[in-house]
Chain A
Amino acid sequence: MKAFDYERAADAQAAVALVAGHPDAAFLGGGTNLVDHMKLGIVSPEMLVDVTRLPFGAVEERDDGGVRIGAAVRNSDLAADPLIRQRYPVLSEALVAGASGQLRNLATTGGNLLQRTRCVYFQDRTTPCNKREPGSGCSAIGGHSREMAIFGVSEHCIATHPSDMAVAMAALGAVVQVLGPDGSRSIPIDELHRLPGDVPERDTTLAHGELITAIDLPPVAGHSAYRKVRDRASYAFALVSVAAVLDVAGGNVADVRIALGGVAHKPWRAATAEERLRGGPATEDVFRAAAEAELEAAAPTEDNAFKVPLARNTIVALLRDLSERR
């Protein structure tokens, strides 16, 4: 590992100034992904600015009935928070479906959003990867692609975003609060992560030096849940996951939000399915038709074509489960 300087900023502005002022500096949260990447030689920052001691460690109720989550809140604390468990069970369920107890005790909310793909080629420096080394080629296309994306892929990258938490936040319509060298801004979570396009090396729309300080969840009606399908019963990344919020009134869908994990370079908001469902009858046939409409946009490889029926079935099963809750 290359040598680096370690800094602990006095406040958020100072942390941002330190990273913004150094092209090879990075923020350090729980370290569970970044430290691994530094060991593997995927990244080699010259300076790390520790943001875990900044005052972003609270989960607070907001005036609008929503909740603000500090970026430094650990994944385990967020999953166990009474407000989250009662109002946003989909988020608590997504968190405990990810990683292990030991990792969740270290990993932060901001860091979880910014974790990078687990694409085997991205993590293996001996193979070409456009995300790790722009222009070197994509080894997954035509290679081992069972875990790769089926939505929003480009000819340069078919990697998936690995987070479970972010999928729940996408379904909830979270808003990410960011502090940068020029002040603060709010980013709808759907605009935080990006599709690979021609610049697969960029995971998010954040500029260098911008720091996530909080995530706001709006109030939501209805029931919510997270369902994850993976190769092992525990401690594995999703092949497909679905986060959904469903509000049924008089047998019809009053509101619905669906996001998919393990299928795209970002948490995939199933806007087409939602559009089909809103206002219509909350029945299994309609759920299936909506899921199929969403999956028309899928462009799988030979290795991961199984994700298309798997995603359809998981969407239908989760919506059916939520529609039966009282």
Chain B
Amino acid sequence: METTITLTVDGEERTVTVNTRVTLLDLLREHLAVVAPKKGCDHGQCGSCTVLLGGRRVTTCLAFAVQHDGAEITTASGLGTAEDLHPVQQAFLDHDGFQCGYCTPGQICSAVGMLAELEAGWPSHVTPNVASAPERTLAEIRERMSGNLCRCGAYVNIVAAIEQAAGR
């Protein structure tokens, strides 16, 4: 079944006709040539396909594109430009928050979404009391980023980068 949908991707309105089987990730990469989100596991386990959907971080490999007609999507390439990087992007450079870079666009989108969740006072698994507002500790950052795997093991620098970006 083919369906025509319209989404705003990195600020640009895109209308495309796709099969209902196409995931949001494949729509972005294969149909719209937006290749910042990466296909890692394709089963929601690695986080490399993370984008901001209506401002919230989501894995795009477990979502059918057709379900998100009208959505506003920001990928890592829409967060900043080469001349004017997003603070989280700059922090990843400053701290060498990557080696091969494959997970990085997902890490960056996840970090941006995560910091907004922290700012909004959402609790996490390590929040001492879920009824109170969480503090921005390293433990909170680590727990909240646990859905993004880095097989190069750049975690220490990723946490440092996020800590820097959060402090701005």
B125 neighbours in A (Cβ, 8 Å):
93, 96-97, 234
A3–B1 touching, CB < 8 Å: yes
A79–B122 touching, CB < 8 Å: yes
B44–A1 touching, CB < 8 Å: no
0/1 string, B53-82, CB within 8 A of A gives 1: 100111100111011000000000000000
B62 neighbours in A (Cβ, 8 Å):
31-32, 35-36, 103, 106
Chain A interface, >50% SS class: mixed
Interface segment among A14-22, A58-66, A84-92: the answer is A84-92
Nearest-CB residue, chain B, relative to A232: B146
B42–A39 touching, CB < 8 Å: yes
> Given the known A-B contacts A31-B67, A106-B63, are A3 and B20 also in contact in the complex, defined by CB atoms under 8 Å?
yes
Nearest-CB residue, chain B, relative to A96: B125
> Given the known A-B contacts A99-B147, A102-B50, are A80 and B64 also in contact in the complex, defined by CB atoms under 8 Å?
no
The verdict on A41 contacting chain B, using a C-beta distance below 8 Å, is no
A39 neighbours in B (Cβ, 8 Å):
42-43
Question: How many whole Å from B16's CB to the nearest CB in chain A?
Answer: 15
A105–B58 touching, CB < 8 Å: yes
A102–B110 touching, CB < 8 Å: yes
A234–B146 touching, CB < 8 Å: yes
0/1 string, A77-116, CB within 8 A of B gives 1: 0011000011001001100110111110110000000000
Nearest-CB residue, chain A, relative to B122: A80
B56 neighbours in A (Cβ, 8 Å):
76, 105
Nearest-CB residue, chain B, relative to A88: B130
0/1 string, B146-166, CB within 8 A of A gives 1: 111000000000000000000
**Of A80, A92, A101, which one neighbours B147 at CB under 8 angstroms?**
A101
Question: How many whole Å from A102's CB to the nearest CB in chain B?
Answer: 5
The verdict on B143 contacting chain A, using a C-beta distance below 8 Å, is yes
The verdict on A52 contacting chain B, using a C-beta distance below 8 Å, is yes
A306 neighbours in B (Cβ, 8 Å):
none
Chain B interface, >50% SS class: loop
Q: Which residues 213-245 of A have a CB within 8 angstroms of B? A: 233-235
B57 neighbours in A (Cβ, 8 Å):
101-102, 105
Question: How many whole Å from B19's CB to the nearest CB in chain A?
Answer: 7
A31–B64 touching, CB < 8 Å: yes
A32–B44 touching, CB < 8 Å: yes
0/1 string, B11-48, CB within 8 A of A gives 1: 00000000111010000000000000000001110010
A324 neighbours in B (Cβ, 8 Å):
none
A101–B117 touching, CB < 8 Å: yes
0/1 string, A98-137, CB within 8 A of B gives 1: 0111110110000000000000000000000000000000
A4–B20 touching, CB < 8 Å: yes
25 A-B Cβ contacts within 8 A?
A1-B21, A4-B1, A5-B1, A6-B1, A6-B3, A6-B20, A6-B64, A31-B62, A31-B67, A32-B59, A35-B63, A36-B62, A50-B67, A80-B120, A80-B122, A85-B130, A86-B131, A89-B131, A96-B125, A102-B47, A102-B58, A102-B113, A105-B58, A106-B62, A235-B146
Shortest 7 CB-CB distances between A and B: which pairs? Answer: A100-B147, A234-B146, A80-B122, A235-B146, A92-B130, A6-B20, A102-B59
By a beta-carbon cutoff of 8 Å, the part of chain B in contact with chain A is: 1, 3, 19-21, 23, 42-44, 47, 50, 53, 56-59, 62-64, 66-67, 110, 113-114, 117, 120-125, 127, 129-131, 142-148
